[in-house]
Amino acid sequence: MQKTVVIIGAGIAGLAAAWTLQNKSRGAVRCLVIERGLHPGGKIVSERHDDYLVERGPDSFIVQKPDALELCRELGLEERLLGSNMEKRTTYVWSRGRLHPLPEGMMLVAPAKVMPVLRSRLLSWPGKLRMGMEYFIPPRKPDAPEESLAAFVRRRLGQEALEKIATPLMAGIHAADPERLSLQSTFPVFLEMERKHGGLLRAMRSRRQAQKKNAAQGGRRGADGPMFYSLSGGLQQMTDALAVRLKPGTLRLGESVETIAHQDGRYQLTMGDGQKLHADAVIVAAPAYAAAPMVQALDAPLAEKLRAIRYVSTATVSLAYRRSEIPHALDGYGFVIPRTEHRSITACSWSSVKFRDRAPEDRVLLRVFLGGAGAEHLAEQGEAELIDRARVELRTTMGIAAHPLLAVAHCWWKANPQYELGHAALVEEIEHRVAQHDGLYLAGAAYHGAGIPDCIRSGKDAAAMAAEKIQIDRCVSL
């Protein structure tokens, strides 16, 4: 008898789960994807506005984690893969009334080279000396309590490195408060560098030596390809390709799941219109706060723990200008702004510099970011207010006084999960509760990574577990 798996949520995690199940089951599983919205893809939204390509949500994915790249190849999108600009990779930081280039060779907060840091005007001389002292600071004991991003960077590199580099770059990625952001759950590589080498400077020195040795033996000296990839027609091509390749009847848009319950060894889902669905397995790929009321009657402690994962709102504003109207050289990917500067925006990505074919040759497409932890009110505004605020900030930071040729804004309400201190333990507790319900699985940005590759991996893993459970059930029934 054909088994049924219901996936709740048609973001990239839910679509990846459906795609994986469809491939693994070879027709033995009926898969349904229930999506409250009218379009699949979640936060991945690409729009054409005349000759401009606007990404309302994420504009790229990192290649360090291979899942997104592999999925694009599975979907036949390899020829549309588009690497980020390798010639203009500088990131700027707004400080003391001007844009300063981040010192060359920085691995987020870890400096790979000494001279670029010494020459930089971003940091004061006391700040530079404090960063240099990191070499002599001993590592923490293995049994020490969990540290926030702020505590780690302050301890190893000092307050100025935290304020001008770590907070806008690292905490900015997660739209988070650095004092509450768990380093263990977001940037564990730095903990590993401290554990293995004794510190960040020592680890970067060891890395350079290994690269030189590798180069001397005829290998590559280091990563020589793009760090970020997108698709020539926008990231939505990936989610569109997934949706199109699912079997007819798999996607059910504009529908919602209210509750999940056990009934006669299966799951019963009550829909928003009162309809009942029955499933052998359920994958919940909705945000944690949306999943909580669904499982409230099934497992109240699980629902409580899901609600404990905090989310914050952010907004993006895309603005197009004539190149001649922008006084900056635009020789990089954009700039970030430390919180200590007290600006209304957190960053600006120079989209048409980062990726080609985002704007006509004599035009420039910029993307401004607002909101995040402690500043959600700035994101939760109407489109006109968001555009006005972004224009004011660009006039100050980049000297752009012209009226934009294109202006598009979007608020992502409660779209960014916060990996705060204790996140790993909380997720472990959630997964322990979920494991008590055979055939129930979670996927999405709230648990083990919020990036596109992380979400794809979570969807694929949940699908693999569901497929394994159903296969076991089939063997028992035979």
- In this predicted model, which residue has the larger pLDDT, 312 or 215? 312
Residue 421: is its pLDDT beyond 90?
A: yes
pLDDT score at 323 = 97
pLDDT-derived band at 265 (thresholds 50, 70, 90) equals: confident
pLDDT score at 477 = 43
Residue 166 DSSP code: I
**pLDDT tens track for 379-410:** 999 999 999 999 999 999 999 999 999 999 99
pLDDT score at 86 = 87
Residue 181 DSSP code: B
pLDDT score at 264 = 87
Residue 212: is its pLDDT beyond 90?
A: no
Residue 317: is its pLDDT beyond 70?
A: yes
- In this predicted model, which residue has the larger pLDDT, 352 or 111? 352
Residue 67: is its pLDDT beyond 60?
A: yes
Q: Give me the domains of the chain, ranges plus CATH numbers.
A: 3-40+240-309+420-477 (3.50.50.60), 105-216 (1.10.3110.10), 311-417 (3.90.660.20)
Residue 472: is its pLDDT beyond 80?
A: no
pLDDT score at 473 = 57
Average pLDDT over residues 155-163: 97
3-state secondary structure string across the chain = CCEEEEEECCCHHHHHHHHHHHHHHCCCEEEEEEECCCCCCCCCCEEEECCEEEECCCCCEECCCCHHHHHHHHCCCHHHEEECCCCCCEEEEEECCEEEECCCCEECCEECCHHHHHHCCCCCHHHHHHHHHHHHCCCCCCCCCCCEHHHHHHHHHCHHHHHHHHHHHHHHHCCCCCCCEEHHHHCHHHHHHHHHHCCHHHHHHHHHHHHHHHHHCCCCCCCCCCCEEEECCCCHHHHHHHHHHCCCCCEEECCCEEEEEEECCEEEEEECCCCEEEECEEEECCCHHHHHHHHCCCCHHHHHHHHCCCEEEEEEEEEEEEHHHCCCCCCEEEEECCHHHCCCCCEEECHHHHCCCCCCCCEEEEEEEEECCCCHHHHCCCHHHHHHHHHHHHHHHHCCCCCCCEEEEEEEEEEEECCECCHHHHHHHHHHHHHCCCCEEECCCCCCCCCHHHHHHHHHHHHHHHHHHHHHHHHHHC
**pLDDT tens track for 46-65:** 999 999 999 999 999 999 99
pLDDT-derived band at 139 (thresholds 50, 70, 90) equals: very high
Average model confidence (pLDDT) across the chain: 94
pLDDT score at 88 = 84
Residue 130: is its pLDDT beyond 70?
A: yes
pLDDT score at 219 = 60
Average pLDDT over residues 130-139: 95
**pLDDT tens track for 327-340:** 999 999 999 999 99
- In this predicted model, which residue has the larger pLDDT, 195 or 26? 195
Q: Report the share of the chain in percent with pLDDT over 90.
A: 87
- In this predicted model, which residue has the larger pLDDT, 210 or 3? 3
